[in-house]
Structure 1
Amino acid sequence: MTNEVLGAVRELLPAIAAGALATEDARRISETTIGALTDAGVFRMLQPARYGGAETNPVHFYEVVRAISGACGSTGWVASVLGVHPWHLGLFDDCAQAEVWGEDPDTLICSSYAPIGRMTPVPGGYEVSGVWRFSSGVDHADWALLGGMLVGDQGEPMDFTTILVPRNDYEIREIWDAVGLRGTGSNEITVVRAFVPEYRVMRNYQISQLRGPGQEVNTGPLYKIPFATVFTTAIAAPVIGVVAGCYETYLATMRDRVRLSLGGGRFVEDRFAQVTVARAASEIDASILQMDRNVTALYEAASAGQEITMLLRLRSRRDQVLGTERALDAIEKLFKTAGGQSLDRGNPIERAWRDAHAGGVHVANDTERGLQLYGRGAFGLPVEDNMV
């Protein structure tokens, strides 16, 4: 199947790349860029067809994310995060979907999934309060998916949830000033005693068991794939895309460089530089190939009505965290050999290095956690984790 959105996005990449430094300085994506990505269909790729979405194979979505991230890491990150939320909303009760997309199918949703929110049961739903950090692209969204925690009478955690809250029910505080992904506008959300009806609450256990109420109305294979794969791959894909873009920039920049030290000569004739390029290219390819293989396997199993095995879920998580690790290893090799000229602020190579490492610290990219889960499963031990 042709990835038509990718074709439209490629036409935007020169402008996105040219504006990368301005995006970083502004610490948010411009409305113009968000509008262009909306028009290209990026944010509808994983949206239910019932609400004007493309409901596409997620491999195509990640391909688009990598392409955007190669031009600007911050723009790619926001495109991925805002673009994966329509898929998540598709798992909610249809009343919630209609509330968000009924009048405008281009409505965007931000998130902060840490279970910060305190939920007090009230008639018809819950009263929710909390402060959530790191909500990427929050300024462009009219709704937010926020992590909540149900507690017992003694204050003990009873259940982790995701709640859907409209813009009128939360405040945004501008606090984002980070070393990398500076243009993502990942600011803070505050909710004070907002009423959230029951139909706008999803229990994370339901999601991990592939039993969201939205699956009753969104019956396509896209909505039968585990959250742990769809979301974590959306966090890894921008990092890999940043590194892939850095690799291309590295080749273009270093091809004509002449060394003034270490004996001089053309950089491209240095056999150590040649080895670095080969290793970096292989790490990037391995990251993409393994993750695309797993997502394809999941999508094909869902399309055929087959069981999504725990082994495949664990393998997908394993290769996702290792994909990020491989990408970071590749960019370390490139940055180390790029020379002092690449240290100047605003240089695409140094910005990519910062952006990739900033994305790498997201909890979804925690290598040891992902590998430990796979190891438990490989040994036949029980795996009880919502991120599988």
Structure 2
Amino acid sequence: MANTALESVRALLPGIAERARAADEEGRVPETTVRELVDAGVFRMLQPSPYGGQEREPVEFYEVVRALSAVCCSTGWVTAVLGVHPWQLGLFPKRAQQEVWGSDGDTLVSSAYAPAGRLTAVDGGYQLSGHWSFSSGCEYGRWVLLGALVVGAQGRPTDFLTVLVPRSDYRIEEVWDVVGLRGTASNDILVDKAFVPAHRVLRNYEQAQLRGPGQRVNSGPLYRLPFAAVFTSAITSPVIGAAVGCYESYLSRMTERVRLSLGGGQFAEDPYAQVAIARAGSEIDAAVLQLDRNIRELTEHATARRDIPMELRLRTRRDQVRGTERAVHAIDLLFKTAGGNSLRRGNPIERAWRDAHAGSVHVANDVERTLALYGRGAFGLTVEDNLV
């Protein structure tokens, strides 16, 4: 089946590329871009079909994200984050899904998953307060998914939940001023004593066990996949896309370049540049191939209603963080050999370098911790982590 969203997005890429510098300088993805992506159906790719969603395979969504990120990583990042939330919302109770999409299937949801919130049990649900950072694209969301700890009578955490909160119950604090991914407007979210009804809550433990109340209404294989695979791969995909864009920019800019130093001559004749492009291309290919292979295998298990082996879940996370690492390495190789002109602000190679390094510090891309989890599993030790 053709990836119709990708076909639609390809027609938008020239315009998004033209707006990439503005996104970087103004600190937000232009509304024009977001509206184009909404109209192209990108944010419905992982959305449940009862609410107008397409329920496409995740690899197709990641392909779209990579294509966008190749011309503007901030746009790709916001698309990845806002576009993966409909998948998670599909795990919530039906009533929560109805509240978000019942009157408008294009409603967007942002997130801030760190357990920075405190939940106190009250009649019918919880009272929530907290201050969260890094909610990418939050200005375009009318709801937000937030991480929070349930606090018991002794003041100690008793559970870790993801809660769904409407725009009327939170405030956005504009604090985003960073080196890379500048256009993502990943601002702060503040909540003060908001009521969260029980149907807008999802236990992280149940989610890690591949269970969720939404599965009773969304029975397709898409909603039987691990959050740790679907979400983290969405976070890696923009970084890989940035590497693809950097590679393409490098080739187009350097092919006809003539050196004015080091003996002169065509840049393309430099064997060190040739080796750099070969290494970078190989790193990018490995990142894409492993990520797609693992997600497809997970989808095959879910489609056949087979239990997903822990080995596969760990391998998916291993290759996901290595995919980020490989993409960053590829960009570093190209940036290092591209010469001083690539240092100029706004140069696609320079911007890709900044954006990829910024994306690599997301908790989902914590390489050493994730590889250690894989190593534990390989040695037959118990692995208990919600990000597997």
Q: 1:150: which partner in 2?
A: 150
Equivalent position amino acid for 2:264 in 1: G
Q: How far off its partner does 1:186 sit?
A: 0.4
Deviations 1:164-186 (A, max 9, x none): 00000000111001100000010
- Cα distance in 1 for partners of 2:204, 2:310 equals 17
**Aligned AA for 2:14?**
P
CA drift of 1:30 comes to: 1.2
CA displacement at 1:31 relative to structure 2: 1.1
Give 1:152 shift.
Answer: 2.3
After superposition, where does 1:1-388 map in structure 2 within 5 Å? 1-388=1-388
Identity value in percent: 66
Q: Deviations over 1:304-341 (max 9, x none)?
A: 11111101000000000000001111100000000000
Tell me how far apart the structure 2 counterparts of residues 65 and 308 of structure 1 sit (CA, whole Å): 25
The amino acid across from 1:279 in the alignment is R
Inter-partner Cα distance in structure 1 for 2:271 and 2:31: 45
Report the residue type matching 1:384 in the other structure: E
State the SS of the aligned residue for 1:180.
Answer: coil
The alpha-carbon deviation at position 153 of structure 1 amounts to 2.1
CA distance in 2, matches of 1:197, 1:157: 19
TM-score, structure 2 normalization: 0.99
SS at match of 1:149: strand
Equivalent residue of 1:298, what SS?
helix
Gaps of 5+ in 1: none
Distance in 2 of aligned mates of 1:330 and 1:29: 25
Q: Distance in 2 between matches of 1:330 and 1:348?
A: 14
2:314 maps to amino acid: L
The SS at the match of 1:104 is coil
- Cα deviation digits, residues 124-154 of structure 1 (max 9, x gap): 0000000111100000000000000012222
RMSD over aligned CA atoms reads: 0.6
The unaligned stretches of length 5 or more in structure 2 are: none
Q: TM-score, normalised by structure 1?
A: 0.99
Structure 1 letter corresponding to 2:292: D
Shift of 1:25: 1.3
Partner SS for 1:121: strand
Q: Deviations over 1:179-215 (max 9, x none)?
A: 0000001001100000000010111001000111001
- Cα distance in 1 for partners of 2:155, 2:384 equals 23
SS of 2:192's partner is: strand
CA contact (8 A) 2:59 2:296 kept: yes
